[in-house]
Structures are given as C-alpha cells and as structure tokens.
A = this chain, B = another copy of it.
Amino acid sequence: MARNTNLRWRLPLICLLLQVTMVVLFGVFVRYHPDADASWREEKKRKNISSDLENEFYYRYPSFQDVHVMVFVGFGFLMTFLQRYGFGAVGFNFLLAAFGIQWAVLVQGWFHHLDSHLINADFCVASVCVAFGALLGKVSPVQLLIMTLFQVTLFTVNEYILLDLLEVKDAGGSMTIHTFGAYFGLTVTWILYRRNLEQSKQRQTSVYHSDLFAMIGTLFLWMYWPSFNSAISSHGDAQHRAALNTYCSLAASVLTSVALSSALHKKGKLDMVHIQNATLAGGVGVGTAAEMMLTPYGALIVGFFCGSISTLGFMFLSPFLESRLRIQDTCGIHNLHGIPGVLGGIVGAVTAAFARPDIYGQHGSQGKFQMFGLLLSLAMALVGGIMVGLILRLPFWGQAADENCFDDEVYWEVSSTDPSRDSGTPTHTA
C-alpha cells in the first residue's frame, strides 16, 4: 500500500506551531531562577545568602553537561546501527529532544519546583529517547513530535505522583525514566503493529561502520551514566555514592554481557547488538538504589544480573515478543530499559526496606511505597501508551508503508550519487 510520506506541510506546520507555543508559554510562565537573575544580586548581597562561587551552577553544571551528551550523542548514535537509518536516528532524536526539553521545562515547572530544571528536562526527554528506540525506523517525525508532547506530560505527572506524593526515591530514574519510557514505547509500538514489516527486513541489519557509529553512542552513555544517576542527588556523600555505585554496576554488566553473548553463539562469537546495549543495563538497574547505601559489591551484583538478563532478553525474549505478542521493538529497549528498569525498581525497594531507619527516615514502609511507585509507573506507561498509540495510528501523520521502513530516503534528501546507496541490495546479476 502506497502512503503519502510527503511531509512538506505537516512537518513545518507542527514544528512552527509547537515552537511559537513554546515562545508564548515561556513568556507567560518561565522566569530565571534567583541563581541566574541579575535583579536578585542586591537582595542576595543584603541578605548575605550566598557568594557567587556558591552558585548552584558550579556544582551541577558538569553533571548536567554529561547528561546532555547522553541524550543527544548517546541515544542519538546508539540508534545509528541500522545500515540506512543513521540520519533518522541521530536527526529525529535531535529534533524530539530539542522540543522535549523546552516542553519539559514548562510542564515540570507547573508540577513541582525542582532546583535543577535543566537536568530534569533532560531526564524527561531521556524517557522519550528510550521509547523512540522501539519505534525507530517505523514512524514519521510528525508522529515523534506528537508522542513527545504527550509522553513528557505523562512522565511529569507520573514523576510528580512518585516523588512528591508517595515520596519514593528514584535518583537515577529506574522507574520514572526507564520502566516508564520502555513500557510506554513498547505499548505504542504494539498498537502500531506492522503486519508486513518483514518486507523491510533486509534494511533492519547493520553494516560494519554503522556498528562503529553506534559504539560512539554506547560508550558515551556508559561513561557518563554515573553522572546521570547522581545528577540530582543531594550534595555531598549521596551524590558521590550514586556515582560510585553506578560505576561499579556498569563495569560488572560489561563482563556478563560479553560472557553471555559468547556463550549463546554456536561458534562463541560476540554480537555487537549485545555489546552496544546489554553493557549499559547495569546503569539502568542501579538507577533507583544508586544513592542508597547499596554497597559497592551490591552494585556489582546488580550489574552482574542486569548484563546477563539483558543479553538473554536479546536472544530469547525479543523474538518471542515480536512473533507472539506482535511487539516490534527495533532497538530491543525491553532488554536494555524494560527488564533492567523493573529490576532496578525492585532493588531500590529492597534496599530501602533494609535501610537503617536513621538513614532513610523513620518509616520502614519505604520499601512498600517504592514497589507501589514501580507498579504505578508500569500502569501509567500502559494506559498512556495505548492512548498515544491510538492517536499515532491515525493515517495522516506521514508514516511510511511497511516495505519502506528503516530507510532514510523516505524523509531525507539522500545524495543520488552516493556510491553506497544501493549497498546490500545487488541490482544486477549478470
């Protein structure tokens, strides 16, 4: 079935509409934080609140930049592994994140006054990047912008309930970012099921250099994940500890990913898909408990299991989900963010439950609240995903036909003189 994928009016219109709305809403709602406002200088001086060198900027900005790199380079390049969808991977991720951070600053400001808006905006967008991973190659940029609009809103509502109402701990977002983002994206892709997607299967593989581009994404995600999980922790030992625990967990998941990848191949060869993805599962799994007194060896154990389970998921669960449950998960986000996210929520609940009361407040019931927060994130993802999926199923968003998925030529001007253009599909047999 041929579809109209010409976005000449639709994409510009939605971009301009959203951007003009952002300008207006920022004009009405967004003001500088006192730490960034010149008019407060006098007052601050009078009240002797803080010196310029104690500006939050100096204590949060390096972490913020690391998280920023993860969102734009990390997620963007991680998805460039497909042979002919590199522009879409890195370009659409750029587009949705640039819109998402603006919208997140607004929505987050309405719901709660967090000290470090911009890091929270990046966190919020990270959950959209996760969901994008399931849809990669199968949706139009118009659909992605609409999804971002809704997902950022739902993310913030969910986060508000968890962090502000239930007082759940989730510094690195195992529940709010990864579990929510993954199951939201999986639900959307389930609703958008494409019956004849195997007609695009020849493009759903990597080529040698596309796998190397993806490793740029993997490594920046892996290296900066300690910054991610510690970025909004309380100053001092909590932040320090969150970085340390994440570092340990990530290191362990590299070894178990390699072990399982080799063990599951009949000739013992490693698969780049596992190295690109499962090595990161340790960062997801330790997201909730990172700032807790998890202990370094506890973090290693979390990474050990996350790396293993994630690799097993790529081998056995993904094919099952696709064939039986009709969930077409392009990047395998269920294995990188879904399962490790749920595990991370549980690890957080257990760690909190066993914590000494003098560390995490009086109530021993923290563990129960954590579990409840996890279930709520899952429910929010499912209900929200169905709703948004149904909207995205409307036929006029410029989505490609099943036989044209995973192909940059649908939405990008690709040079006709590009010698690698026809690569993978030999066109002459004589």
Give the B-binding residues of A (Cβ under 8 A). Answer: 6-13, 15-16, 18-20, 22-24, 26-27, 30-41, 51-59, 61-63, 65-66, 68-69, 72-73, 76-77, 80, 84, 86-87, 90-91, 94-95, 98-99, 101-102, 118, 141, 202, 205-209, 211-213, 215-216, 219-220, 222-224, 227, 234-241, 243-244, 247-248, 250-252, 254-256, 258-260, 262-263, 265-272, 275, 279, 293, 295-297, 300-301, 304, 359, 411-415, 417-421, 423-424
Contacts and interface: CB of A to CB of B under 8 A. Distances in A.
Contacts of A62: 61-62, 65
Contacts of A237: 32, 34-38, 40-41, 52, 55
Given A98-B251, A240-B55, A263 B8 contact: yes
Contacts of A39: 293, 359
A142 to B, nearest CB: 10
B12 A241 contact: no
A65 B66 contact: yes
A269 B52 contact: no
B98 A219 contact: no
Given A16-B256, A255-B18, A304-B23, A262 B11 contact: yes
A273 to B, nearest CB: 9
Contact of A30 (B254, B255, B296): B296
Nearest to A32: B241
B415 A102 contact: no
Contact of A247 (B118, B223, B270): B118
Given A216-B73, A270-B412, A102 B251 contact: yes
A141 to B, nearest CB: 7
Contacts of A69: 223
Contacts of A27: 295, 297
